[in-house]
Amino acid sequence: TEKNPVKAMAEKAVDALRGEGPADGVPGVPNSEPPTVAEPTEPREPLPPKPDQGAPATGTATGRQTGAPPTVRAQDGAYLTTSTGTRLYDTDHSLKAGPRGPVLLQDHHLREKITHFDHERIPERVVHARGAGAHGVFVGYGTASNVCKAALFGKDVETPVFTRFSTVLGSRGSMDTARDTRGFATKFYTTEGVWDLVANNIPVFFIQDGIKFPDVIHAGKPHPDREIPQAQSAHDTFWDFVSLHTEATHHTLWNMSDRGIPRSYRMMEGFGVHTWRLQNAAGETTLAKFHWKPKLGVHSLTWEEAQITGGVDPDFHRRDLYDAIESGAYPSWELGIQVFPDTPEQTFEGIDLLDSTKIVPEELAPVQPIGLLTLNANPTNFFAETEQVAFHVGHLVPGIDVTDDPLLAGRLFSYVDTQLSRLGGPNFNQIPINRTHAPVNDMLRDGFHQHADHTGVAPYKPNSLDGGCPFFAGADTSAFVETPVEVPAASKVREAPLSYSDHFSQPRQFWLSMTPVEREHIIHAYTFELGKCYEQAVKERTLQTLANIDPELCGQVAAGLGLPAPEPTVPLADVQPSPALSQLGRTWPLDGRLIGIVVGEGGDLEGVRAVRDAVLTAGMVPLVVAPAGGELGAGLTAQRTYATARSVEFDAVLVAGTPGLGSDAYGARDAKAGEPGAGAVTDPRVLLLLSEAFRHGKAIGGWGGVEPVLQAAGIAPGAPGVVDADSATGALREVTDLMGAHRVWERFAPRV
């Protein structure tokens, strides 16, 4: 009987791929070479799905309730198929009239594959485009119950969450370590619906009214003519705007402080910025501000580190978060609230609670812990989860409500609106990562990307045809139950209250709360950023805002710019420092910190192994740096080479000093290991690594006669935070003691 032609074609193609037989060719022209590395041909079971790839455990946006069969996963089965599940035997060749003939329009698979590819990208977020996310859990302490009835704050209540961290100004592909505000947005999949806490790592904002958001972002984004600089505020338009619009002074000062260049997403605070209105079960209301406090402490990069890292490892924060979670060093934050009585004035100790350019110092209103967030799982697919997650400040649950902050009002509109173009329509809450874990019965219908097969005929209320369904919940279990807040009789105006015009007292308080090292960093940051501006008027106007914060700050920056320091135009505010604003002066856990262990040819491998094991036992990450990759002996493998290691990756550096740290590449091993002269010349890359680690205030420890190497790197014997120990483990012990404070702060020599 004649062979099935499709099967024959498939067999021929498979044979050709395996190199077992000729495919049809043009006479005289050899067929293309078979691939030398064959793909596995046996079908294998796909990896089991992670929970979020399937449908949520309880009801979904499609109306499915607990107990219903799970929805079919998007990707399943062992064989390659079309998007409609038809199996394919080839995806490497277009359908042609003969091997050298024209491609045929009837190749549906070709068209499906290319069309889908052509539409793979969606618009990036208009702000916060660059980010990284993780799954986790929030556990309530039960301490908030007296002020807030939200179920997620109940004692030991566990709520699944997804958190996305981000920079603000840069594009999706920009570097992580730019000087910028960081986003810290968390989606809580509570039993009462989704609550999004869309926070930043800075507690104040550039503007007091949402209507100014396009202005500040247009000023911060790259110049519209050349589209440079990327992911930076160090350019004329940004400083033009913030020097003219002085309510931005406070946020800008935080950006110029070390908060603008975090060491890690794991080591940032988060702030809900606005004042929110909480309601307890008795219907009583309280005003509150949300704070995230990282268990690892708040830590930053130095500016030079941030700049080097931008080139050496633009994914530094994304990698840090992913690696920490993958290795089991789960980052965690305590959620806390500052609470204020809900008075008609909506002020606390004279501070206007509706002005998002103001903080309430923790010394006046302590942050009270109400629950713990732990991020414990990385996304399975970046696009599906981190890119498609859509936050909205209006995603609220019973017990949490908004206030009349005009900045918040703008946000309440913007977050849904932006998803319409970013995610292509109004059904973005049906995307798996956005689906609530509570039952949905919403009467919203149709629209692009509708996933629900809605039943019934009456998506309207009142109705009798669907039996009156859905029904109203009681006021005690509903969100958006308006607290009867009195709105004073007023005329319609485009104006701000008088209290909003104080733009300098809290910036001054921030400045006065900084330690000398932190002040020095702020001076450097302003001097750098303004030094990148071309317009003289912009620099002069910014110096004027600095003069209104503090004459010392202004004088130092002016000196760096070579300009005269102006006098203040407002009386300097008489404010008390808030020590809670400083990042220094405490010690912190070291979970997931990275220690580079540098060893040269013939170095003390036993010592290296001992410290590597001790670092691992302490819950940190050891990275052995050797002249070349591969096995080193003593059960050690090089994770980095002199070519791939850079100091910015490490929180501290250990050096095995014996016999030297040379390498082939730099002629240090003209003599063989063990012979006189071996390793006598230290590889310049090791010297760079050590000198940078020293300059960036990192603990450095060596053993086995490391002194000449340190000296060659310009590090004086006995310099602060430099340990020359008798043994490898002795060096590690002293280094880890130093690391608790994050840096060896004595190495920085502040002027003020």
Select the span of 406-414, 590-598, 650-658, 730-738 touching ligand HDD (CB under 6 A). 406-414
Q: Looking only at residues 256 through 285 of this chain, which bind ligand HDD when binding is defined by CB under 6 A?
A: 273-274
Q: Does 290 bind ligand HDD (CB under 6 A)?
A: no
C-alpha 71/C-alpha 55 separation (Å) is: 6
Residue 255 burial (10 A CB sphere; 0-12, 13-18, 19+): buried
485 secondary structure, DSSP code: P
Q: Check binding of 379 to ligand HDD (CB under 6 A).
A: no
Is 128 or 742 the residue whose CB approaches ligand HDD more closely? 128
Closest among 390, 393, 480 to 428, alpha carbons compared: 390
Q: Which is nearer to ligand HDD, 243 or 419 (CB)?
A: 419
Residue 332 has which token pair? 């965690």
299 binds ligand HDD (CB under 6 A): no
Distance CA(541)–CA(545), nearest Å, equals: 7
Should residue 125 be labelled a site residue for ligand HDD when binding is judged by CB under 6 A? yes
Min dist CB 514 to ligand HDD, Å, is 22
Dihedral sign, CA of 318, 320, 325, 331? Answer: negative
In this chain, which residue has its C-beta nearest to ligand HDD? 183
Stretch that binds ligand HDD, among 120-128, 249-257, 335-343, 688-696 (CB under 6 A): 120-128
Residue with smaller CB distance to ligand HDD, 205 or 241: 205
Q: Rounded distance, CA 333 to CA 326, Å?
A: 18
Question: In degrees to the nearest 10, what's the CA dihedral of 507, 513, 516, 522?
Answer: -30
Encoding tokens for residue 571? 């009386």
* Cα dihedral across residues 261, 266, 269, 270: positive or negative: positive
What is the Cα–Cα distance from 699 to 714, expressed in whole angstroms? 15
> Does the footprint of ligand HDD cover residue 289 (CB under 6 A)?
no
Question: Cα–Cα distance between 22 and 176 in angstroms, integer?
Answer: 51
**Which one is catalytic: 128, 291, 317, 437?**
128
Q: Enumerate residues 344-373 that contact ligand HDD by CB under 6 A.
A: 356
| Residue 419 CB, nearest approach to ligand HDD (Å) | 6
127 near ligand HDD, judged by CB under 6 A: yes
Q: Which of 55, 60, 64, 128 binds ligand HDD (CB under 6 A)?
A: 128
Helix (H, G, I), strand (E, B) or coil at 285: strand
Nearer to ligand HDD, 164 or 685 (CB): 164
The yes or no reply on residue 255 touching ligand HDD (CB under 6 A) is: no
Considering only 9-17, 88-96, 411-419, 502-510, which stretch makes contact with ligand HDD by CB under 6 A?
A: 411-419
Q: Is 198 in the site for ligand HDD (CB under 6 A)?
A: yes
Out of 200, 255, 427, 434, the active site residue is: 200
**By CB under 6 A, is residue 183 in contact with ligand HDD?**
yes
Encoding tokens for residue 96? Answer: 């042609």
**How many whole angstroms separate alpha carbon 89 and alpha carbon 103?**
18
Retrieve residue 700's tokens. 């450095």
DSSP 3-state percent helix, strand, coil across the chain (nearest 5): 30, 15, 55
Contact 169, 233 (CB under 8 A): yes
Q: Residue 749: is it exposed, middle or buried by C-beta count within 10 angstroms (0-12/13-18/19+)?
A: exposed
Which position among 60, 159, 166, 545 is part of the footprint of ligand HDD (CB under 6 A)?
166
DSSP string covering 548-598:
HH-HHHHHHHHHHHT-PPPPPSSPPP-----GGG---S-----TT-EEEEE
Chosen residue from 200, 249, 300, 658 binding ligand HDD by CB under 6 A: 200
Region of 194-202, 286-294, 335-343, 565-573 interacting with ligand HDD (CB under 6 A): 194-202
Q: Is 274 a catalytic residue?
A: no
Closer to ligand HDD by Cβ: residue 414 or 647: 414
164 binds ligand HDD (CB under 6 A): yes
Q: Is 548 a catalytic residue?
A: no
Q: Report the residue number, 131 or 697, with the smaller CB distance to ligand HDD.
A: 131
Residue 186 binds to ligand HDD (criterion: CB under 6 A): no
Tokens of 8: 């024959």
Structure tokens given for 540: 């002069």
Residue 291, H or E segment? strand 285-294
**Count of residues in contact with ligand HDD, rule CB under 6 A:** 27
Work out whether 321 is an interface residue with ligand HDD (CB under 6 A): no
What's the closest the beta carbon of residue 269 comes to ligand HDD, in angstroms? Answer: 12
Candidates 131, 203, 679, 701; binder of ligand HDD (CB under 6 A) is 131
Q: Catalytic residues, which ones?
A: 128, 200
Residues in touch with ligand HDD (CB under 6 A): 125-128, 131, 164, 166, 183, 185, 198-200, 205, 210, 213, 273-274, 356, 389-391, 407, 410-411, 414-415, 418
